[in-house]
Amino acid sequence: MIADGSAFLDRAGRVLAVDGTFLALLRIPSGGATDGLRRRATRDQALAAFLAGDGPDALRLAGEGGAPDCELVRVAGEAGLLLRALPIEDGLGAPASEYAMQAVLLARLAGSLAHEVKNPLNAMALQLALLGDKIGAESGALATACASNLASLKNQIGRVNEVVRRYLDVADPPSSGGFDAGSLLCDATQLLGHEARRRRVAVACEAQPGAVRAAGDPARAARLVLGLLWRALVGTPEGGRLLTHASIAGGEVTMAIEHGRAWADPSQAWMDGVVAAGAREMGGRLDETSDEDTVRVALTLPKERPL
C-alpha cells in the first residue's frame, strides 16, 4: 500500500510501487511507469537532475504552456527514492490544504472533547470521595468491601484523567515561548502505548519532566515528535523495544528515539522530510544514525533562554 500521489523507485530508477494519482499528475501511462518517467526525464533536464538526487528536495514541473503543473517532493533512502506529487492549485494544492485544514480542526475538536470528558470525570471523583466519607463512618464487612471497590473506581478515574491530560498537553498545548521537552516526550510516548501493545512493542520514556526546556512553538514541536514516534513505532519489529529520552548540551536540547530495526515502510518515509524541514524552521535539525540492529533518531532544538 502506498500513499496517494506517491511512487517508490529503486536505486536504478525502476518504479517498484506507484499510485494512480502520481501517474495522472505526471501524465504517465499506467502500463509503463518506469519507461514513462524516464521519457519525461529525457525531455526535462531539471527532472533528470532531481531524480539523480541533485538540488533541492522539491521541484515544480512545468506543464503545457510552461505553467507549473505539479510539485514533486523527493525523500531519499538507502533502498531508493520516495516521490510525492502534489497538484499546484492554491498554495500547497487543494488536497494538501484540505489535509492541513482537517488536522487543525480535528485537533481543536479533540481538545474540546477532552475537556468535556474531564468535567464529568472530576464530578465523579468528587462524588466518590463523598461516598467514601459516608462509608468510612460505618463499620463491618460491607463497609470494608465497598471501600475497596471505591478505591478501585477512584484509581481508574485517575488513569482516564491522566490520559486526557497527556492528550491535551500534546495535541493542544498552551502557546508560549518554550516548552518542557521531557514532559512532551513522555506524554507523546505514553499516548502511543495502546498502538505499541497492539504491535507487541515495548515502549519506555527515560526523560525527566521539568529538567529540559526547549525554545519554540510547543504545538509544532508536538507534531514533529508525534511524527517521529509513529515512524519509529512502525519501523520497530514485533517483540522489539522503543526508548525515548531527552538531554541538554550547551545551547541545544535533544529529544531522541531509539528502536529496533525492521523493514522500512516506504509509504511512511515522507514524514522524515516533513520533520527535517520543520526542525530547520525552528532553528534545529534532525539526525539519524543506525547499525544492524538499532536506529536512533534525534530532534535537536535550541534551548529555551531564561527571561
DSSP code string of 106-157: HHHHHHHHHHHHHHHHHHHHHHHHHHHHHHHTS-SHHHHHHHHHHHHHHHHH
47-56, 80-89, 112-121 — which one is most confidently predicted on average? 47-56
Q: Where are the domains of the chain?
A: 6-88, 95-171, 178-302
Q: 6-88 and 178-302 share one CATH topology?
A: no
The pLDDT score that the predictor gives to residue 20 is 82
pTM for the model stands at 0.58
What cell numbers appear for 26 in the block? 505526471
In this structure, which topology does domain 95-171 adopt according to CATH? Helix Hairpins (1.10.287)
Q: How far is 185 from 177, CA to CA, in rounded Å?
A: 18
Which architecture, in CATH terms, is 178-302?
Answer: 2-Layer Sandwich (3.30)
Choose which CATH entry (1.10.1740, 3.30.450, 3.40.1130, 3.40.50) describes domain 6-88: 3.30.450
Q: Is 228 exposed, middle or buried (0-12, 13-18, 19+ CB in 10 A)?
A: buried
Do 22 and 10 meet the contact criterion of CB atoms below 8 Å apart? no
SS3 29: coil
Reply yes or no on whether the pLDDT at 282 is more than 50. Answer: yes
Mean pLDDT of 275-297: 89
Name the one residue in this structure whose C-alpha cell is 519506555: 204
Reply yes or no on whether the pLDDT at 114 is more than 50. Answer: yes
The pLDDT score that the predictor gives to residue 55 is 83
Do 76 and 84 meet the contact criterion of CB atoms below 8 Å apart? no
pLDDT digits (tens, 9 = 90+) for 125-143: 888 888 877 777 776 777 7
pLDDT digits (tens, 9 = 90+) for 232-259: 998 899 999 999 999 999 899 999 999 9
Do 273 and 73 meet the contact criterion of CB atoms below 8 Å apart? yes
SS3 98: helix
Q: Whole-angstrom distance between the N-terminal and C-terminal Cα of the chain?
A: 49
Reply yes or no on whether the pLDDT at 144 is more than 70. Answer: yes
